[in-house]
Every structure is written in C-alpha cells, then in structure tokens.
Amino acid sequence: MSVELIGYGCFFLTMALTYAIMCLGLNVQWGQTGLFNVGIAGFVAIGAYVSALLTTPDTANRFGGFDMPILVGWLGGALAAAVIAFLIGALTIRLRSDYLAIATFGVAVTVQLCALNLERITGGPFGIGFIPRPFASLAGDPLLFSLFNLGVLIVVITLLYIALERLVRSPWGRVLRAIREDETAALALGKSAVKFRLQAFAIGGGIMGLAGAVQAHFIGFIAPENYLPMLTFQVWAMLIVGGSGNNRGAILGAVLVWGLWAASAGAVAGLFPPGQQARAASLQIVMIGVALCAILLLRPRGILGEEKVVSRHLGKLSSALRVDAKPATPKQ
C-alpha cells in the first residue's frame, strides 16, 4: 500500500515537474519580457518529436530513429524549438504585441497538423512509441525506477532554476525588465529592444522544447493529441496562479494546478457514470478557464508575485533609502 502511494506520489510529482519546466520557459517569455505566446503546445511538441526521432532505434516504415543517447535528444529538442521560436520572433516581434500571439497560435495549429499528417516522420495519429526512458534497466523495480526518474527531473529543474535566477539577476535580465517597463528609456540607454526580446523568446521556446523532450522520455510514448491547445492553456494557468515573473512561483503554480487538475479528473471519474465522462471532462476545462479569468481580474500578481528588485546593488540602495525615509513620513 505505502509503496503504491509513494509510487503514485513520484509519478504525480514527475509529471508536475515536466509542466514546471514549460512554466519556467513561459516565465522567461512572459514573466520577464512580456511576450505573449499562445503556441506553447507547438513548441513543446517540436521538442518532444525531435528528441523522439533522435533517440528511438531505427524503424523500418518511418524516417529516422537515430538511436542516440537521451541527453543528445534533449539538447536537440531544445535547440529545434529555440530555432523555430527565433524565426517566429524575428517575423513578428517588431510588430504590434498581439501579432506575436496570433503567429504563435498559428505555429501550434501548424505543428499539430504536421504531427498528424507527416506520417513518414511523426507516425501520424498513432504517434511514436518505444521512446527510451532513463534508467530503463531498473524498470523491474517500479519504486526505484520512479524514484530515479523523479530524481532526474529534480536535477533538471534545479539546474534550470539556478541558471534562470542568475540570468534574471544578470545585466541581461535587468535590461529585459527595463525594456518591459519603459521601452523608450531603455532605447535611450542604447539597448536594442528587438534584439533582447528575440533572445528571450528563443530561450523561452528552447526551454519549452526541453520540457517536451523530457516529458516524452518520461512517458515513453507521444501522439499529436498530447499537444492540443489545452496544454497551452494549462501552462498559462500554472504561471498566472503561481505568479508570473517569479521562477519559484512558476514551479509552485505547476505543482498546484497539476494537482487540482488530477484531483478534478479523479472526481469526474468517480462521480459521473462512464457514458457521461467525456461530457463532464469539458466541465473541468470550464473550471480552469473561469479560474484563469478570475485570477486575471482579482489577483493578477498570482500567489507569489514578482520580485520587485532583482539587482543586488539596487537592493542595498533601496534598503538604505527605506531606513532614511522612515522618519520623514509626514504625520496626518
């Protein structure tokens, strides 16, 4: 019993953490830079498919299967998604902000279409199976196997978190914030807004691709229906709930929203007769949609919210100022 419980806990957390990677990628694009991506599912799918193609063994009726190490697949998936993000960004970032949203929406639709129709490469509607899983030699012991998989995810998340936190606090991250808050002032300081935005968009896209690749290797099977617009929506809900602009918020939001999602899926399975379950599942989406809109209206900051000051230099300065400012508060 307790072994099963731990096993399920590991499975749940591993899934939640794959979403947390997507959330971290979105946080670079939206939280730090203010770029709206409606095609998350597309970038995740690119990462998943590229990694699957690189690492699966050679298959007779399908292009590829290059049988490469898993790590190569992950990096390849991230790189492919970053390149596509760069191209779409180069096309639209100069234009009005919602043109990017429309273009990324188009990417998601087109990637979905390619996954369905390019059967020689993607396996069509049946997808790609037998994707090698990390620690496959341990599969005989389910508990150890899921613990190790969770360990891999925790390592990936930790590395990514440290890297992103350093990035946010670096001069590069501070320029991104400056551009988001006041583009004219940033331009006056000689920072090219288009260039910085494009870099951030490509990095975010690459992280989403990595998330797709990691998730594909954790599940071992991918199909076009894993990458419907619903996925985009879930990731957005995660980031908004956790607090955009905050990397810890992104991870927290992913675990929370995935937990809510899994719990409500359980409730639907338990409460409704089998014939009505497909119908009731749409209520789940309604619930998440209403929650997203409500948070946008009532608490746009999310649970954790954004850290106002990320520069260590400014941190010292502002605390010094606060000490000075206190006695000066005028009495009413």
Contacts with other proteins, residue ranges (CB under 8 A): 34, 36, 38, 91-92, 95-99, 101-103, 105-107, 109-110, 113, 116-117, 229-230, 233, 236, 240, 278-280, 282-286, 288-290, 292-293, 296-297, 300
Distance of closest approach, residue 121 Cβ to other proteins, in angstroms? 14
Please, which residues have CB within 8 angstroms of residue 10's CB and are 6 or more apart in sequence? 143, 146, 147, 149, 150
Distance of closest approach, residue 285 Cβ to other proteins, in angstroms? 4
Distance of closest approach, residue 116 Cβ to other proteins, in angstroms? 7
Residue closer to other proteins by CB (options 11, 105) is 105
Residue closer to other proteins by CB (options 105, 135) is 105
Distance CA 163, CA 157 (A): 10
Q: CB-side exposure of 6: number of CA atoms within 13 Å? A: 10
Residue closer to other proteins by CB (options 166, 299) is 299
Under 8 Å between Cβ of 220 and 2: no
Residue closer to other proteins by CB (options 210, 240) is 240
Query: 170: which DSSP letter?
Result: S
Spell 117-144 as b/e; 16+ CB within 10 A means b: eeeeebbbeebbeebbbbeeebeeeeee
Residue closer to other proteins by CB (options 156, 200) is 200
Distance of closest approach, residue 257 Cβ to other proteins, in angstroms? 13
Residue closer to other proteins by CB (options 118, 162) is 118
Distance of closest approach, residue 223 Cβ to other proteins, in angstroms? 16
Q: What angle do CA 210, 212, 213 make, to 5 degrees?
A: 65
Distance of closest approach, residue 180 Cβ to other proteins, in angstroms? 10
Distance CA 62, CA 318 (A): 60
Distance of closest approach, residue 111 Cβ to other proteins, in angstroms? 10
Q: What angle do CA 297, 38, 16 make, to 5 degrees?
A: 80
Distance of closest approach, residue 250 Cβ to other proteins, in angstroms? 16
The kind and range of the H/E element at 212 are helix 193-219
Distance CA 168, CA 112 (A): 32
Distance of closest approach, residue 106 Cβ to other proteins, in angstroms? 4
Residue closer to other proteins by CB (options 147, 260) is 260
Residue closer to other proteins by CB (options 59, 284) is 284
Nearest Cα neighbor of 212 from 69, 26, 88 is: 26
Under 8 Å between Cβ of 284 and 264: yes
Structure token digits, residue 331: 């009495």
A 10 A CB-CB count for 74 gives 25
Distance CA 237, CA 38 (A): 12
Residue closer to other proteins by CB (options 195, 279) is 279
Q: How far is CA 311 from CA 42, 187, 289, 314, in A?
A: 34, 20, 35, 5
